[in-house]
Chain A
């Protein structure tokens, strides 16, 4: 009997200890949640294999799954850019191309006819790691701009490896300068720094581009070089209507039936008869 009671006391002490540990853990979890940093890419690095960061994002946020994010790929004016469709690169387009890319997938593009380096080609990759939330109907008017500048292309042709993280700027920490949509503002980081972490500290990373000087030796059966050719959405240029204009009739905006209702005063020197109040004010 005494042995049984001793076992019971031992079990009770164990349960008490577990409960206290659970309570302490819950309280510490609350503190950790209050102190959790806003960044979400602390466990990622930009030099991870292509696709790792995007897949990790999908594991965190399932709303990113199967979402086509509109992007606009910009290359120098005379260069060509082509997307991979059906195991091959389609007909190149000059300047820029718009497409909808799946978040978490990796896409290989071909850039050719590079100014001053005609005859040479580079094959960068684009990995989408996040998405935008534009108003309905405006998805393709606000793509994520991805720029491959002449300098980037020349560095890649010079056997350098260029990693570029495109991020969404926090408007409350935005620099009070005007940006040129044709020339994306960028920051250079040292080789020992992580551009994904730097971009995460200044905004929200949206895409990662990697570009070297490898010449493709891709197999159309395995499609390893094309990362399995994930699906994409193509947009016909000018297929979407222009930006929606307000449909309200300007004449109807002025309530001419009750001109005596407005509460604007009479007789002010700079008042130019916007509305003529003639009746009693309410």
Chain B
């Protein structure tokens, strides 16, 4: 660059140095000004658009035993069920036969210790681990991926291997990739990170978050589960579910965030007194000389009281025995779940809540729940084909413009949890009902499913309002921040496709 400048205009060396310095400084200023400009969205264009995913890293071992178990939890008062695993391609009859097979029949059937993953084998090196091919055809790849991610069919953990997704195509449902022991496999993007804060989709900044009461998601520190199932990083407003997989790992899945418009106010008062006041000074007393009018004579005492010593002394004895009357300190505050209502609430009128499958037509309503104003046109329709079978989500008559084929390996444990609220705004003292819909959307049985909701300080749990469609233990724990942690421990393992509903009520305070 310096040669070009010098040959064009002047050949003096110090002038070349000057022009190079001018150009360099100008470039740096422009770059610095560009970084200062707010609203820069970097990260939305990083995803490649054409590369199809290679085989995502699988946690299944090639020597995966036909039957293995998840160790029950260590707490004696909370026995958890042992779940069994069949081969991914086994039919129901084969599964029954496999369950009857003793573990000693295969040398690899020993139960791995909790928290330690078995030996991994890549799906690329083992074609047998490749799962059912999934053919996805659509006009708009963005809608494709949004539906696939929302329905939990595709693995979003492969970083940068899916076509680019425009931000407006995201559905704010539980698309967060489950984390293996608190870590994002593949570095999946988080919608709520430290410092960045969360904002409703389709709403441009500034997002007036201080007027809303939000609950759900995984804000601030990510939730991690220790080997003894101790939960770390559970901040207020967090709603997560963690579960154990067949290979001894604990995954964490966060729900979506639900926001209610409910501002609360306080006041700061200052009272100022008078700055000036009048004061009158005047004498309050004066001395006068007076003369004695009378003099009293001093007389001696006429009677004296004689003090009498005590006759006997009473001894003070200490207690010989001490009986402990401290009552037992029980921390088990298990609540009995109320009867589950056999009807759905009006605000639960979503296919993802009622049936566990997501419909494209509900995007607008779900977006409206999140204060979104996006309008989804008819051109956003897609056709979803799995194994050559058109699914019921393909409701559009528009022909497919592009076809994408994904091959996903089996052996992926995944759970989806969705949270909705009965209303979008609430006054102080009003009662709001929340609903969780959780599903096992992976291709393996999961166990020790635990759903935890750390209520925000503005929500007060209504006693006895928790319901669960599955058999579960319900506990409440007081958090250090003054909030209340709700915890459901699903007793039985969840087979592939199983799901359930949890309802509870909170009073806005």
Which positions 9-31 of chain B face chain A at CB distance < 8 Å?
14-15, 18, 21-22, 25-26, 28-29
A90 at the interface (CB under 8 A from B): no
Q: Do A254 and B265 touch across chains, with their CB atoms under 8 A apart?
A: no
- A177 sits at the interface (CB 8 A): yes
A255 to chain B, nearest CB (A): 5
Contact (Cβ within 8 A) B339 A272: yes
Per the 8 Å Cβ criterion, residues 451-507 of B in contact with A are 456-458, 460, 468-472, 481-483, 492, 494-501, 507
* Bound-state Cα–Cα, A191 to B270, Å: 6
Contact A258-B355, Cβ < 8 Å, known A135-B371, A186-B267, A271-B470 = yes
> Which listed residue (B213, B268, B456) contacts A198, Cβ 8 A?
B268
Q: Is the CB of B264 within 8 A of A179?
A: yes
In this assembly, does A195 line the interface, its C-beta being within 8 Å of a C-beta of chain B? Answer: yes
Instruction: Tell me if A145 is interfacial: C-beta within 8 Å of chain B.
Output: yes
Q: Tell me, yes or no, whether B211 is within 8 Å of chain A by CB.
A: yes
Q: B343 on the interface (CB 8 Å rule)? A: yes
A164 to B15: give the CA distance in the assembly, Å.
Answer: 65
Pick the interface stretch among B53-61, B184-192, B321-329, B344-352: B344-352
Name the contact of B497 in the complex, choosing from A160, A164, A206, A263 (C-beta under 8 A).
A263
CB distance B509 to A177 under 8 Å?
Answer: yes
* Contact A181/B429 with A163-B269, A262-B355 known, Cβ cut-off 8 Å: yes
- One of B115-123, B406-414, B420-428 at the interface: B420-428
Q: Beyond A171-B212, A264-B499, is A144–B460 a contact (Cβ under 8 Å)?
A: no
Known A-B contacts A27-B32, A46-B270; the reply to A22 vs B25 at CB < 8 A is yes
Residue of B nearest to A16 (CB): B21
Question: In the assembly, what is the distance between CA of A163 and CA of B271, in Å?
Answer: 6
> Taking the nearest CB of chain B, how far is it from the CB of A194, in angstroms?
8
Chain B minimum-CB-distance residue to A262: B355
CA distance A252 to B29 in the complex (A): 61
Given contacts A168-B263, A171-B264, A15 and B210 within 8 Å (CB-CB): no
* A243 to B193 Cα, complex, angstroms: 34
Q: Do A164 and B267 contact each other (CB < 8 Å), given the known contacts A272-B340, A274-B501? A: yes
B273 touches A141 (CB 8 A): no
* Interface presence of A224 (CB below 8 A): no
Most chain B CB inside 10 Å of its own CB: which residue of A20, A165, A264:
A264
Which chain B residues border A275 with CB–CB below 8 Å? 354
Which B residues lie within 8 Å of A1 (CB)?
none
A223, CB-defined interface residue at 8 Å: no
* Docked complex: A228-263 residues within 8 A CB-CB of B: 243, 246, 248-250, 252-255, 258, 261-263
The answer to whether A174 and B457 have CB atoms under 8 Å apart is yes
B343: chain A residues within 8 A (beta carbon): 250, 253-254
Interface: A281 (CB within 8 A)? yes
Given contacts A132-B263, A262-B356, contact A191 B36 (CB under 8 A): no
CB of B342 within 8 Å of the partner chain: yes
For the complex, give the distance between the alpha carbons of A164 and B266 in Å. 10
Given A250-B346, A264-B499, answer yes or no on A184-B265 (Cβ-Cβ < 8 Å). yes
- The reply to whether A270 and B470 contact each other, CB–CB distance below 8 Å, is yes
Q: Does B2 contact A (CB under 8 A)?
A: no
Q: Which residues of B have CB within 8 Å of A166?
A: 265-267
- Chain B stretch 378-427: residues in CB contact (< 8 A) with chain A: 422-425, 427
Interface residue B208 (Cβ < 8 Å from any Cβ of A) = yes
Whether A186 lies near B460 (C-beta < 8 A) is: no
Residues of A within 8 A of B457 (CB): 171, 174-176
Give Cα A187 to B326, complex, Å.
41
A23 in contact with B25 given A171-B457, A174-B264, A203-B210 (CB within 8 Å): yes
Of B265, B424, B472, which is within 8 A of A167 by CB?
Answer: B265
Give Cα distance in the complex from A203 to B268, angstroms.
11
Inter-subunit contact A176/B483 (CB<8 Å): yes
Given A16-B22, A167-B266, A246:B356 Cβ within 8 A: no
Q: Does B217 contact A (CB under 8 A)?
A: no
Question: In whole angstroms, how far apart are the Cα atoms of A130 and B34 in the complex?
Answer: 30
* Alpha-carbon distance between A196 and B268 when the two chains are bound, in angstroms: 8
Residues in chain A near residue B427, CB distance under 8 A: 141-142, 181
A166 to B269, CA, bound (A): 9
**CA A196 to CA B270, docked complex, whole Å:** 10
Contacts of B15 in A (CB 8 A): 12
Closest Cβ of chain A to B197, distance in Å, is 10
Q: Is B236 an interface residue (CB 8 A)?
A: yes
Contact B268 A29, beta carbon cutoff 8 Å: no
Specify which chain B residues have a CB less than 8 angstroms from the CB of A132 in the assembled complex: 208, 211, 263
CB distance from B335 to the nearest CB of A (A): 13
B494 to chain A, nearest CB (A): 8
Looking at the complex, which one of A133, A186, A274 makes contact with B269 (CB distance below 8 Å)?
A: A186
Using Cβ atoms and an 8 Å threshold, which residues of chain B touch A258?
355
Q: Is A3 an interface residue (CB 8 A)?
A: no
Q: Does A273 contact B (CB under 8 A)?
A: yes
Given the contacts A23-B29, A179-B509, A264-B499, A164 and B345 also touching, CB distance less than 8 Å: no
Verify if B33 is at the interface (C-beta below 8 Å from A): yes
Least CB distance, B23 to chain A, in whole angstroms: 10
Which of B267, B271, B355, B425 makes the CB contact (< 8 A) with A165? B267
Within the assembled complex, what's the spacing in Å between the Cα atoms of A164 and B354? 50
- Which are the 5 A-B pairs with shortest beta-carbon distances? A176-B482, A186-B267, A178-B509, A19-B25, A253-B349
Could you jot down 12 A-B contacts, CB within 8 Å?
A9-B14, A46-B270, A132-B211, A135-B371, A142-B427, A160-B272, A169-B264, A189-B268, A206-B265, A263-B356, A265-B494, A274-B342
Task: Write the residues of chain A forming the contact surface with B, with a CB cutoff of 8 angstroms.
Answer: 9, 12, 15-16, 19-20, 22-23, 26-27, 29-30, 33, 46, 132-135, 138, 141-142, 144-145, 147, 152, 155, 159-172, 174-179, 181, 184-191, 193-196, 198-199, 202-204, 206, 243, 246, 248-250, 252-255, 258, 261-265, 268-275, 281-282
